[in-house]
Structure 1
């Protein structure tokens, strides 16, 4: 922003200088040319009177001295002709006398009593200012006189003034640049500190509040308002995280005691009340799992972690080996397919929790004799596909909301598994979306960022054993949590 402000100030200064200096330079150039023209015409008029008098008196021998003396003093070129246009005297020693110039336009007009002042080019290719006047006495024309001056001196003076104007403009622009840079830095300093503060706040902690002592009053007020808002927001977030963490810790002991007391009632209850007692114990267990989920979320939100390269294929092989026995109890197979992906960016321990939560959800809804597929694709994308009842579009949009459960589910989930998964995926720099699987079921797609391979520090990757299928006894599990 500082650069743009300086450029805008300089552009405005250039426009102002151009509007002032260009007309001034042109006016000076026209004035110099006009003064030179008037001077040449005046001198030509005086010389024409002198030469006309000499021609009238027949003193033709005095003409070379008159024109030569004038040319020596002023540097001009003087040519005198008689009334027929024959050259009587020429201040240039190399020129000849006695030749006729009557055919030249300016001489012809002067012989008809018409003076001429014009700019021409001489034989040396230089621009000259020429004045041609008739030598008259009343209405009688006795000859003509041409006085020429080179415009080198006029051009030198014009170029000098243009150079002076350019130098003055450059000095003014330099001064404007210094002032503009100082002013832009002063204006943007609160914005720079505000940008740094927003970056710190986005990282979770505002260590250096924005500067509220410099800059325009509007920006100082903005920085003050931001500091107040950020402080209030940090206080609220810290209070919320502390409450979730402390409440989870404080609830664990009473819930455990409540469960034990309910179980102690069983010998003393009528058999018909045992069903209600089991339901109550189940609700206490679900509440305990919910407390554990809240505690896990609080820990995740309070812990600042940095993604690291993790071998996804090794993690997948390990988690499949761990979940196979549990899936076999429900007559469900787990397949690991697709080409190896290699290392991806993830926070430590995140991939294990992500895969465990998604496999647990898939296992709850998978009927017997079905398969849960973990499919890898190019581009570091992982699909976890089940063959359960699936979810409609509205449920898929709300599946990552905390405590949300599908309206048609009848399981004891807490509604915190998928929110934890999304938090871990986002913290790792990836993304997760839910899609309908081919046929029936749900396809959870996890897009991760590939990481460079570090052969010197990473352990060798375990070989992919290929698809795994096991069968065992069936246990009841329905719904999605």
Structure 2
């Protein structure tokens, strides 16, 4: 089943959010453009009305004289249009004394230059007026009040707001449907990579029909995973066969040496045969470790076959087992195991991980030393000791295969124990690290983020 889309990580969800934001911005810009157009048109119409009214007054003066003009001004003031701009007039002499009109004082416009500007009407309302010099001793001003376009602007804003909201909702709905569909298809690919089993591959191949780029990616992913499974299977089959072919003659050789020992040879020959048998067992153990490392690395990230493992119970059992041998060898084993720590894994491999770390610690810690096994939720597994530690020059390669240190006792093994620990940890999506310590060595196994947080807590 597809997981819920994580907005912070999904590129499709981010595209939808950007589309919603762009739709909202475009709607806002269109409303702003329309509002500006309405105000500009209203202003142009106001100025045009003043110009037309003034031109009519000039014609009346030219044809009828000053008295006719004064009478017409009073008529117009008495008959104001209901659906137009309210008009105001003033006919004055050169001393600014009113002859006709409803202005008490000259509004301050320069008539000689036919100045036009916004003024305050006799009603106290903002108006646009223009003055005209009709004769040396006569001048006229015509002003129209600015029409209130607030209701119209609010209606337009409501229309754009409602339309924009519907557009954003439509984009969001269509976008989220597309995100869910694309997210489901991408999740099918990711699920197949996380758990590349037969069912995941079957679902992947079923969803590929070469309709678009996602289907093409699905088909290529299915082909790649199928090839990887075939290669991994062939590799495991080859390594298993190789192990069998190499183990069999070695065990036959060991049996012959046993028979040779049963023939009661002399002491020197018996000692040499015993050394040869020990070398054979060392080679077999090294071969098995190499095969385990290869198998763990081949299955890195593959969750198939993992099941819940009570790591606390496993660590307790191993701790009790090693406590007895530690007492016999003169060591002290301290246990600090938190209960209820459960992980998804393979119990046999996790057992080898812990035993290899404990074996490595007891190997280098002299008698009288202390080894501590700790397990905290996370999981966070640490094995620390107060032995000689790992020299600074060897810390970088301590997890490499066949890496053996310069300390006494480090040349006894094949140098594969810690390499196997790292391979097992990576198989379980964990990380193993050698932590800085004032004395001895301290190895920690934890998820990468958990290891960093724990390291900061230990050394912060």
TM-score by length of 2: 0.68
In structure 2, the gaps of 5 or more residues are 1-10, 448-460
Q: Which has the higher contact order (CA 8 A, sep 6+)?
A: 1
Deviations 1:32-65 (A, max 9, x none): 4233322222223323443676665689777634
Aligned to 2:253: 258
Contact 1:37 1:117 in 2 (8 A): no
Match for residue 105 of structure 1 among 101, 105, 108: 108
| Shift in CA distance, 335/127, structure 1 to aligned 2, threshold 3 Å | same
Aligned to 2:132: 133
Separation in 2 of the partners of 1:377 and 1:175?
51
| Shift in CA distance, 140/173, structure 1 to aligned 2, threshold 3 Å | same
Aligned to 1:344: 341
Is the aligned partner of 1:30 residue 2:26?
A: no
Pairing 1:379-458 to 2, within 5 Å after superposition: 382-385=382-385, 387=387, 391-393=390-392, 395-402=394-401, 404-406=403-405, 413-426=413-426, 430-434=430-434, 442-448=440-446
| Shift in CA distance, 433/169, structure 1 to aligned 2, threshold 3 Å | same
CA RMSD in angstroms comes to 4.9
Separation in 2 of the partners of 1:356 and 1:133?
108
Contact 1:133 1:144 in 2 (8 A): yes
- 3-state SS of paired residue (1:81): strand
For these two proteins, the number of residue pairs brought into alignment is 421
- 3-state SS of paired residue (1:209): helix
| Shift in CA distance, 85/51, structure 1 to aligned 2, threshold 3 Å | farther
Contact 2:77 2:88 in 1 (8 A): yes
Separation in 1 of the partners of 2:291 and 2:319?
26
Whichever structure has more helix as a proportion of its residues is: 2
Separation in 2 of the partners of 1:73 and 1:429?
79
Offset at residue 355 of structure 1 (A): 3.7
Deviations 1:138-185 (A, max 9, x none): x454x444433222256666x389649947983996599479839975
Is the aligned partner of 1:236 residue 2:231?
A: yes
Larger Rg: 1
| Shift in CA distance, 81/353, structure 1 to aligned 2, threshold 3 Å | same
Offset at residue 87 of structure 1 (A): 3.8
Aligned to 1:304: 305
Offset at residue 128 of structure 1 (A): 1.9
- 3-state SS of paired residue (1:118): strand
Aligned to 2:91: 81
Contact 2:334 2:372 in 1 (8 A): yes
Match for residue 189 of structure 2 among 174, 177, 197: 197
Aligned to 2:277: 281
Match for residue 151 of structure 1 among 136, 139, 146: 146
Separation in 2 of the partners of 1:366 and 1:271?
34
Structure 1 window deviating more from structure 2 (40-49 vs 243-252): it is: 243-252
TM-score by length of 1: 0.66
- 3-state SS of paired residue (2:369): strand
In structure 1, the gaps of 5 or more residues are 450-481
Aligned to 2:164: 170
Separation in 2 of the partners of 1:144 and 1:104?
12
Offset at residue 421 of structure 1 (A): 3.0
Is the aligned partner of 1:181 residue 2:184?
A: no
Contact 2:129 2:144 in 1 (8 A): yes
Aligned to 2:457: none
Offset at residue 229 of structure 1 (A): 3.1
Is the aligned partner of 1:6 residue 2:19?
A: no
Contact 1:36 1:154 in 2 (8 A): no
Contact 1:390 1:436 in 2 (8 A): no
Separation in 2 of the partners of 1:59 and 1:411?
123
Aligned to 2:8: none
